[in-house]
Structure 1
């Protein structure tokens, strides 16, 4: 199996070099870009496992780029930014980022966060299966696509896929916020909770759920969530 590929987008050469060196020593392959246009062109030819994205870019709005990546890419997205306000972190996570690291940072922290995103922490639950069938739907985690009974496809982001997979691996069992945080990583708190709410809302929409009375992903107020469908992995 090839080493995971990490794409680094930051307009500061010192940061790109520091991250490339630290990740290379940890066993990752890296590609680095100083401008969003170069980064986006490269993504048409290669598919990184993780994207490290700075928000302060010279040629694009960083948050807009993060949102596009979340919708169109299967990569995990980690924002690295000097914007330290809680609202900045919340916005980044709501737009689809998987994690948010504030500058200045220790390279070892970034390596640890990247490892958390590329490791397969739950192989026993599904035997390495990448496709799940439930309630007339098929989730293709290798392609980040939901397919309905008529064969129509709807894409989902890496972040949405992590939440969906968590539910599908534990159907008809209550999953509380602490369990979600431990399974998906990221710092517990308001920003994590808001990000989970947004991702679950988007999944419900893609599954055609009534937001006032969802049938599959149920909210148990004060306790957590429960997925009520029968699931078959293959």
Structure 2
């Protein structure tokens, strides 16, 4: 069985060594990079299962890189940063990161967060990664929405987690607490805001009227309901 591959991008050698040692001991394969240019060159050859990305990088803006990773790569993106301000956390999640860990961190927590994310994305009970609903087809293996005319719109890994959650439970109320449990987030203002942003972006990509959405309905004070009929194919 192939070990999950974790890519580590951090300009501090001590952090890279610490994370590599801990993750390899936990049963993962790792690749480490001190600069974004080397990291992105490696991505062209192989997509990792998880990217650990520091925001303070010598050769690029970390938030811009996170946004690009979320849209173009099929990897889980976890920010590990010394920027502990709430706004940095919120911005990172809004741009598509799946999780945010502040420095200094407990290495065991990093391992636990990675395992939780991998569990949440593993298709354990379904052979298909393609779902049809209304006039749409969602291709989760390549993170793409296809309309009835064959036109395609990409979605990020983080947006895909939310969409899959809805498609797995159509016409059932999904509370904030259930979203938190399923997606592995911590209860916080930043998690709630990130969910709002991801759902808003999904509605835009599904060409929903923001004032009267027909697929993803908000039940104020309770959660959300996905109203479409879903067929996994």
Could you list the runs of 5+ residues in structure 1 that have no partner in the other structure?
none
Contact 2:10–2:33, Cα closer than 8 Å, also in 1: yes
Matched, 1:15 2:15: yes
Matched, 1:150 2:149: yes
Residues 13-162 of structure 1: pairs in structure 2 closer than 5 A: 13-120=13-120, 123=123, 127-162=126-161
Match of 1:185 in 2: 184
Shift of 1:120: 4.8
Residues in 1 aligned to 2:154 and 2:121: alpha-carbon distance in whole angstroms = 23
Structure 1 segments (4+ residues) deviating >3 Å: 120-124
Residues in 1 aligned to 2:42 and 2:212: alpha-carbon distance in whole angstroms = 43
Residues in 1 aligned to 2:34 and 2:179: alpha-carbon distance in whole angstroms = 34
Name the SS for the 1:119 alignment partner: helix
CA RMSD after TM alignment: 1.2
Could you list the runs of 5+ residues in structure 2 that have no partner in the other structure?
none
Shift of 1:44: 1.0
Over residues 179-203 of structure 1, what are the superposed CA-to-partner deviations in whole Å (9 max), with x where a residue is unaligned? 0000001211100000000000110
Shift of 1:78: 0.3
Q: Cα 1:148–1:121, aligned 2, differ >3 Å: closer, same or farther?
A: closer
Shift of 1:87: 1.0
TM-score by length of 1: 0.97
Aligned pairs, number: 233
Residues in 1 aligned to 2:128 and 2:119: alpha-carbon distance in whole angstroms = 15
Name the SS for the 1:175 alignment partner: strand
Residues in 2 aligned to 1:218 and 1:121: alpha-carbon distance in whole angstroms = 24
Residues in 1 aligned to 2:110 and 2:177: alpha-carbon distance in whole angstroms = 22
Contact 2:120–2:184, Cα closer than 8 Å, also in 1: no
Match of 1:210 in 2: 209
Match of 2:223 in 1: 224
Contact 2:120–2:183, Cα closer than 8 Å, also in 1: no
Shift of 1:127: 2.1
